[in-house]
Amino acid sequence: METIPYASIVGSLLYAQTCTRPDISFAMGMLGRYQSNPGMEHWKAAKKVLRYLQGTKDYMLTYKRSDHLECKAVYYSCIHYGS
């Protein structure tokens, strides 16, 4: 795996996820777990995400303005998470 650019590919995919492709968030969470010690199955999964992006490159998110809806920020937290 030393010659395979796994970390570079995952980094590029993370950039795409953050900027324009939130639909790959789950896959990126899984791929990111193996940054330090990827195996061949992780490389194959990363290539599958690349093929998915290639096949869906014409899809897009559309945001529409609405005058009658109020925009609220809602935050949730778990008080047991830190303990």
10 Å CB burial of residue 43 (0-12, 13-18, 19+) is middle
Domains of the chain, residue spans? 1-83
Tell whether the model's pLDDT for residue 78 goes beyond 70.
no
What pLDDT does residue 81 have?
A: 54
Residue where the block lists tokens 């005058």: 67
pLDDT at 67: 73
CB 42 within 8 A of CB 1: no
Q: pLDDT, tens digit, for every residue of 41-73? A: 999 999 999 999 999 988 877 777 777 767 677
31, 42 Cβ separation under 8 angstroms: yes
Q: Give residue-wise pLDDT tens across range 1-33.
A: 677 899 999 999 999 998 888 889 999 999 999
